[in-house]
Chains A and B, each alone.
Chain A
Amino acid sequence: MKKYLALLLTLSLLCGLLAACRTQPPAPETAERWVNDGEPTTIKILTERFMWGESPSIVLENKASHLLGSLGRIIDYFEHEHPNVTVEVEYVTIAPSTRETEMQARRVALMGGDVPDIYLMPTLSDGMFYEGRDMENGEYPFVFRDPAQAMTNGWFADVAPYYNGDEELHTEGLVPGVMEAGVLDGQRLILPLGYDMELMFLDKKEMEASGLDREALGTYGGAIGHVLGLDDPRWTTGMNFYGMQLNLLPPLCDYKTESPLLKEEEAVQFLKTVRSLSDEVNEYYQDYFDRHPDVQSIGVPYLSSYLGGEKKDVFSPELPALDVPLRRAVDVLAICKAQGFETEVLPVRDVDGKLSANVTYWGAVSSGSKNIPLAYEFLRLFLTPEVQWGGTLTCQDGTTFKTGFLGKLSGSEELHITPGWPVRSQGAVEARWEKIYQEAKRYERNALVLADKAPPRITDLLAVEVTDEDLPFLAEGVDRARFPSVADLWFDRLSSTVLYPGLKAQPLTDQEIAGKTKEFLRELRYHLAEG
């Protein structure tokens, strides 16, 4: 009797195991886009309230998010076009106090099969580092701690058949190097929607006077060496980058073999370079603030502040260099031109001279979605010019839905729905400049109501123009793009101890740098093996 019972139990177990199993059918080269059959359907999106450059605490403090309004309008557009489709949005909780607990519950739900149709996610950004540093455990938990790793774990559906056949999308206008970041073994699993990289803004006149050689700035190490060799510490201030420092190193790891590619000596050499630079920069800034006690802060000017009347020159003889993220390049360049500066804009290349970018925002169709064609149909909207450049979506019946922020410049300068620089880079400079121009015209109109003429800062801005020729490297594309992950947070913690040794007030020794690098690589090996 017992033997028969055991046999029955084993058979039931096997049946249960195999019941829900099926082999994955091979994906076609192209597939038909979704056709509305009129049946009521719902698609679900899982997303965050914050985005690149707008950290959770800012969103919490302001009780508002630049992302939400635009996402709402895109959903309204889609539902208006397809009245039988309902788009539901689930926001991951934002409050740090409850986020970890709720994240655990959400992960369990994902494991249990409660997956959305679409993931729409920001990546770790500059703002997140401050968030991470404030957290007790040092990490603000994301749904996907490492999107590139998640691609290898079967979370996302392959949308290549739809993407490849989507002629209306004009995918040739998207930056290939960035879009490739979402491809794994020929499968298009993630659609990057925005990206960013660091740029050096240099006062051309001062550059020529000081003998700074443009060609010598072709690699990160070379640039630092050249600048330090000039014995002119003013230029170091334009190379003091925070945040995405892993972009400046060779590729970090191979997710398929689960092994780090970054060698210990490469990381140590990089950090020693950072240490040499930070010594100079910290000393120079200390001296600068001693000589200018009235100056509260220095940094990249905001366009809204400039239009609002802030009198601050982009460059000065003492500060002829700035590091500016790509997403703000057009704004800052416009101010430079309006203030009469001739500016050299150079992308910061990694230690091997490659142009490396990081994805700031991405979307993916869940592999567990029951309606992949419909989910792709919604997601592709984020790659259209109207959404990428903050324009207007027009329905077939003529109803319009404006994306972006209703034409107004926000405090964080994010005019586009997709944070970062648009992956639809061809035409982005022109689109961005058009927005700036229209906004400056609005300021001019307001000023003329109160006075006979507009302030010079407005007229100066309206007299200039920013075009693709001002950012020629954009035509090059990028050599590689990566998804920031928890590894970036760990490396930032490591490099910030080099940049800011803290109360010790002594730079870290070579031995300390080597020890901390070993620790970082150890954490990375664990992360790769466990993910």
Chain B
Amino acid sequence: MKKSKSALQGWLLVSPLLIGCLLFYAIPFVLVMQYSLSTGSGSALYFVGFINYQDVASNGMFTLAFGNTMRFLAAALPLIMVLAYAIALLMQKQANKHKLLKSVFLFPYIMPVVGAVILVELLFAESGVLPALTNALGLPLTDWLGGPAAFGVVLLLYLWKNTGYSVILLLAGLVTIPEEQYSAADLDGASGWQKFYYITTPQMWYSVFFALIFSLINAFKCFREIFLIGGTHPNENIYMLQHFLNNSFENLNYAKLSVASVLLLIVVLAVFAVFYGFVRKKEAFRG
């Protein structure tokens, strides 16, 4: 009786959140799935099976956008995790002494998007600093924002903007590892690498997972900068899935929009599921 009363109280407490999730996530998700399998508008939606999926899968622009997005994620996520982890490890011992340093790392993250884009334009635009420098050095001119190099510029912008945030997340995990464990390891003659592998890593999987998820979310937010730099149809190397989604919305093609959203969700869920399953197996998480 006490248990069921306690359970009821629990359900009541979470019900606003559940109702919100239902109204703003679950039901719209079902609607998106419906649109992806239908044609028509308003109350006249007609089931067409997987025809929309076939059309989108054979759509050259969708495959370009999807490929670019996956390429970006494949490059950006490992890079940001390695970079952030390295910086967090370097700062591990100094974190409590230099609290201001942690705030400094967040400055790029909180910088307005427009400010970041202006900085990119100042550096990489045709009349920017870098082209002027390369020209002065007699090097060949590169179209940094309108050519294949744009992918690298966007990657760099993402790393600059978001590494600090990941550092903070990882640092929060690192400072919770008891210092005594490292002291004991020192007494046993463990090397730096051994301490990292046997002490730090097992206890950091959850923080790494957390940082990875946020990095993934921030990777998708990078669309804002790309949109301001390249417009609705930027260079082919930085034409992302969000461009396809945004432009399909403008053209009122909700079937394509829905299909692209569902396919993206499937991929993200797959990546999430794989990594989540991997993390769950680790000792530190079980603890």
Interface residues of A (CB under 8 A from B): 13, 16-18, 20-24, 107, 110-111, 113-115, 141, 143-146, 149-150, 153-155, 157, 258, 366-370, 522-523, 525-527, 529-531
Contact count A vs B, C-beta below 8 Å: 106
B247 CB, nearest partner CB in chain A, Å: 4
Q: Is the CB of B255 within 8 A of A367?
A: no
Cβ contacts A to B, 30 pairs, < 8 Å: A13-B30, A13-B33, A16-B30, A16-B34, A17-B34, A21-B47, A22-B46, A24-B39, A110-B252, A111-B249, A113-B43, A115-B42, A143-B252, A145-B251, A146-B251, A154-B255, A157-B44, A368-B43, A368-B44, A370-B43, A523-B233, A525-B61, A526-B232, A526-B233, A527-B247, A529-B61, A529-B62, A530-B244, A530-B250, A531-B252
Q: Which of B218-256 contact A (CB under 8 A)?
A: 232-233, 244, 247-256
The listed residue with most B CB atoms (<10 A of its CB), out of A111, A149, A150, A370, is A111
With A17-B37, A155-B41 already in contact, the answer to whether A530 and B61 are too (CB < 8 A) is yes
Task: Find out whether the CB atom of B38 lies under 8 angstroms from the CB atom of A530.
Answer: no
B39: chain A residues at CB < 8 Å are: 24, 153-154
Tell me if A366 and B42 are in contact (CB < 8 A): yes
Could you tell me if B61 and A154 are in contact, using CB atoms closer than 8 angstroms?
no
Once A21-B47, A113-B41, A368-B40 are accepted as A-B contacts, the answer to whether A531 and B253 lie under 8 Å apart by CB is yes
Q: Does B178 contact A (CB under 8 A)?
A: no
Give the residues in chain B near A111, CB-CB below 8 Å: 35, 249, 252, 254
Interface residue B45 (Cβ < 8 Å from any Cβ of A): yes
Determine if B60 is an interface residue (Cβ-Cβ < 8 Å).
yes
List the B side residues contacting A17 at CB < 8 Å: 30, 33-34, 37
Is there contact, CB below 8 Å, between B62 and A369? no
- In the complex formed, the residue of A with least CB distance to B36 is A17
Q: Flag if A530 contacts B47 (CB, 8 Å).
A: no
Q: Which residue of A lies closest to B61 (CB)?
A: A529
Cβ of B59 within 8 Å of any chain A Cβ, yes or no, is yes
Chain B's nearest CB lies how many Å from the CB of A246? Answer: 18
Chain A neighbourhood of B43, CB < 8 A? 113, 368, 370
Known: A113-B41, A367-B41. A149 touches B46 (CB 8 A): no
Q: Which residues of B contact A21 (CB under 8 A)?
A: 34, 37-38, 45-47
Contact of A154 with B33 at beta-carbon distance under 8 Å, contacts A22-B46, A526-B247, A530-B248 already known: no
Query: C-beta contact mask, B243-277 vs A, less than 8 Å → 1, else 0?
Result: 01001111111111000000000000000000000
Give the residue among B33, B37, B46, B251 with the most A Cβ atoms within 10 A.
B251
- The docked-state distance in angstroms from the alpha carbon of A367 to that of B61 is 28
Chain B residues with CB under 8 Å of A366's CB are 41-42
Other A-B contacts than A23-B46, A113-B41, A530-B247, 11 sampled, CB-CB below 8 A, are: A20-B34, A111-B254, A113-B43, A143-B252, A155-B252, A367-B42, A367-B44, A525-B61, A526-B61, A531-B252, A531-B253
User: A113: shortest Cβ distance to chain B, in Å?
Assistant: 5
**Cα separation A153 to B51 with both chains bound (whole Å):** 13
> Distance in Å from the Cβ of B29 to the closest Cβ of chain A?
8
Question: With A13-B33, A146-B251, A153-B252 known to touch, is A23 a contact of B47 (CB < 8 Å)?
Answer: yes
Q: Is the Cβ of A153 less than 8 Å from the Cβ of B61?
A: no
Q: How far is the CA of A118 from the CA of B261 in the complex (A)?
A: 29
* Contact assessment for A529 and B60 in the assembled complex, using a CB-CB cutoff below 8 Å: yes
Asked whether A113 lies within 8 Å of B60 as measured between CB atoms, the reply is no
| Nearest 7 CB-CB pairings of A with B | A368-B42, A529-B61, A531-B251, A21-B47, A24-B46, A154-B39, A115-B42
With a cutoff of 8 Å between Cβ atoms, the chain A residues found around residue B250 in the complex are: 107, 141, 145, 530
Task: Tell me how far the C-beta of B242 lies from the nearest C-beta in chain A, rounded to whole angstroms.
Answer: 12
B196 smallest CB distance to A (angstroms): 36
Contact partners of A258 in chain B: CB under 8 A: 59
Q: How far is the CA of A145 from the CA of B249 in the complex (A)?
A: 11
> For residue A114, which residues in chain B have a CB less than 8 angstroms away from its CB?
42
Contacts of A20 in B (CB 8 A): 34, 45
- Taken together as a complex, chains A and B put the C-alpha atoms of A400 and B35 apart, in Å, by 45
The CA of A144 and the CA of B247, in the complex, are separated in Å by: 13
A367 contacts across to B, CB distance below 8 A: 40-42, 44
List residues of chain B with CB within 8 A of the CB of A110: 41, 252
When chains A and B are docked, how far (Å) is the Cα of A24 from the Cα of B60? 28
For the complex formed, measure the closest distance between the CB of B282 and the CB atoms of chain A, giving whole angstroms: 21
Alpha-carbon separation in the docked complex, A111 to B247 (Å): 14
CA distance A115 to B37 in the complex (A): 19
Q: State the CA gap A141–B37 with chains docked (Å).
A: 28
A144 to B41, CA, bound (A): 14
- B252 and A107 contacting across the interface, CB-CB below 8 Å: yes
**How far apart sit A527 and B256, CA to CA, in the bound complex (Å)?**
13
Q: How far is the CA of A145 from the CA of B239 in the complex (A)?
A: 21
Among B33, B249, B252, contact of A150 (Cβ-Cβ < 8 Å): B252
- Residues in A neighbouring B44, C-beta threshold 8 A: 157, 367-369
Q: Is the CB of A368 within 8 A of B41?
A: yes
Considering only CB atoms, which chain A residue lies closest to B244 in the complex? A530
Of chain B, the residue at the smallest CB distance from A24 is B46
Whether the Cβ atoms of A522 and B233 lie closer than 8 Å is yes
Residue of B nearest to A370 (CB): B43
Measured between beta carbons, the chain B residues less than 8 angstroms from A145 are 250-252
Instruction: List B contacts of A531 (CB < 8 A).
Output: 247-248, 251-253
Chain B residues within 8 Å of A527, by CB: 247, 251
B247 contacts A154, C-beta separation under 8 Å? no
A369 and B42 CA atoms in complex are apart in Å by 7
Q: Which residues of chain B are near A522, meaning CB under 8 Å? A: 233
CB pair B42–A153 under 8 Å, yes or no, is: no
B37 contacts across to A, CB distance below 8 A: 17, 21
- CA separation between A378 and B187, bound complex, in Å? 91
Is A107 a contact partner of B249 (Cβ separation < 8 A)?
yes
**Cα distance A144–B252 in the bound complex, in angstroms:** 7
Q: How far is the CA of A275 from the CA of B252 in the complex (A)?
A: 36
CA distance A153 to B250 in the complex (A): 13
* B51 to A: closest C-beta gap in Å: 11
Q: Min CB distance, A131 to chain B, in Å?
A: 18
Set of chain B residues within 8 Å of A107, measured between Cβ atoms:
249-250, 252
Minimal Cβ-Cβ distance residue in A for B245: A530
Contacts A145-B251, A153-B252, A530-B244 given; does A115 touch B41 at CB 8 Å: yes
The CA of A22 and the CA of B37, in the complex, are separated in Å by: 11
Q: Are A153 and B59 in contact (CB under 8 A)?
A: no
Bound form: Cα–Cα A144–B249 in Å: 11
Min distance, Cβ A253 to any Cβ of chain B, angstroms: 13
The distance from the CB of B176 to the nearest CB of chain A, in whole angstroms, is 30
Which chain A residue has the least Cβ–Cβ distance from B27?
A16
CA distance A368 to B244 in the complex (A): 25
A530 near B41: Cβ-Cβ < 8 Å: no
Which B residue's beta carbon lies closest to that of A144? B252
User: Hey, what's the 0/1 contact readout for B12-46 against A, CB within 8 Å counting as 1?
Assistant: 00000000000000000010011101111111111
Report the Cα distance A115→B38, complex, angstroms: 16
Of the candidates B42, B244, B256, the one having the most CB atoms from chain A within 10 angstroms of its own CB is B42
Q: In the complex, A110→B34 CA distance in Å?
A: 15
Picked from B30, B47, B248, B254, the residue with its CB within 8 Å of the CB of A22 is B47
Q: Which residues of A contact B42 (CB under 8 A)?
A: 113-115, 366-369
Residues of A within 8 A of B61 (CB): 525-526, 529-530
User: Measured between alpha carbons, how far is A13 from B44 in the docked complex, in Å?
Assistant: 20
